[in-house]
Amino acid sequence: MPSYNDQGIILKSFNLSEADKILNIYTKENGLVRCIAKGAKKPSGKFSGRTDLLYCSFFQFAKGKNLDTLCDIEQITTFPKLRSSSNLLFYGILFLDIVNNFAQEEEEESNHIFELLYSMLDELQTSKSPETVAIRFIIQFLSLHGLKPQLETCVACSKEIVKSKDTYPYSSILGGLLCDECLAIDHISISNGILDILGLPTIQTNSDMETKRGALKLLQKHINTRAKKEIKTFDLVFSL
């Protein structure tokens, strides 16, 4: 069987049998790789303790017909600080779920998506404001997929949005702001503060918690409207 090597982060794991697991791994060169990790559940197995979620490693895979087979792992990092608090851990898992939800095999942007996931998980490890890191991660992730919320012009008619109000109408279905003429379209009102957070390339961590949560909730709606399956981990981070 031909084999290949790639750097990746473990996004998801499923039990296949008493001893084996199936892993979803996001790799730098090949995008999503789904593989069988034989013996990964056995304490004495070759992969024991090395196939947990969030682990970043160099992997060797053997090509298979449906699923590839994991042959070897050389660990790079486990992002250990994310495990020091459930708050950081849940945010880390949220990032994995988002990537997993949109991931395709051999997608063109895999290099950028991998780098974004890696750098944001690393930043999350020492962050005092995981909400801010999450907002930045989601906006950049959506940008890479061409799905970023449209905030400069009306998402229905392309008219420029004049920024002079306290609240703005936002359509989650269309994915952006509406002008005054397009208000008949189903929308929610978002505050100026939320708009500031979403529109800035670098977010100030001194925005108040309520505004940051509001921005994150808007992104939750935005991303779930476009996801293959609802991303439930959002509810987990909001429950903290």
Q: How many CA atoms lie within 13 A of 161 on its CB side?
A: 23
Instruction: Report the nearest approach of Zn ion to the CB of residue 55 (Å).
Output: 46
Residue 153 or 192: which CB sits closer to Zn ion?
A: 153
x/- map, 110-149, Zn ion, by CB under 5 A = ----------------------------------------
Q: Is 179 in the site for Zn ion (CB under 5 A)?
A: yes
* From 23-31, 181-189, 207-215, 230-238, span contacting Zn ion (CB under 5 A): 181-189
Lookup result for tokens 């013996």: 39
User: With contacts defined by CB under 5 A, how many residues of the chain interact with Zn ion?
Assistant: 6
CA distance to 125, 164, 232, 237, per residue, from 240 (Å) = 17, 34, 14, 6
Instruction: Report the nearest approach of Zn ion to the CB of residue 171 (Å).
Output: 10
Task: State the pairing for strand pair 188-191/3-15.
Answer: unpaired
Instruction: Report the nearest approach of Zn ion to the CB of residue 177 (Å).
Output: 9
CA distance to 163, 201, 220, per residue, from 132 (Å) = 23, 12, 14
> Which residues have C-beta within 8 Å of that of residue 84, sequence separation ≥ 6?
none
x/- map, 154-173, Zn ion, by CB under 5 A = x-xx-x--------------
> Which residues have C-beta within 8 Å of that of residue 119, sequence separation ≥ 6?
none
Residue 18 or 160: which CB sits closer to Zn ion?
A: 160
Binding residues vs Zn ion (CB under 5 A):
154, 156-157, 159, 179, 182
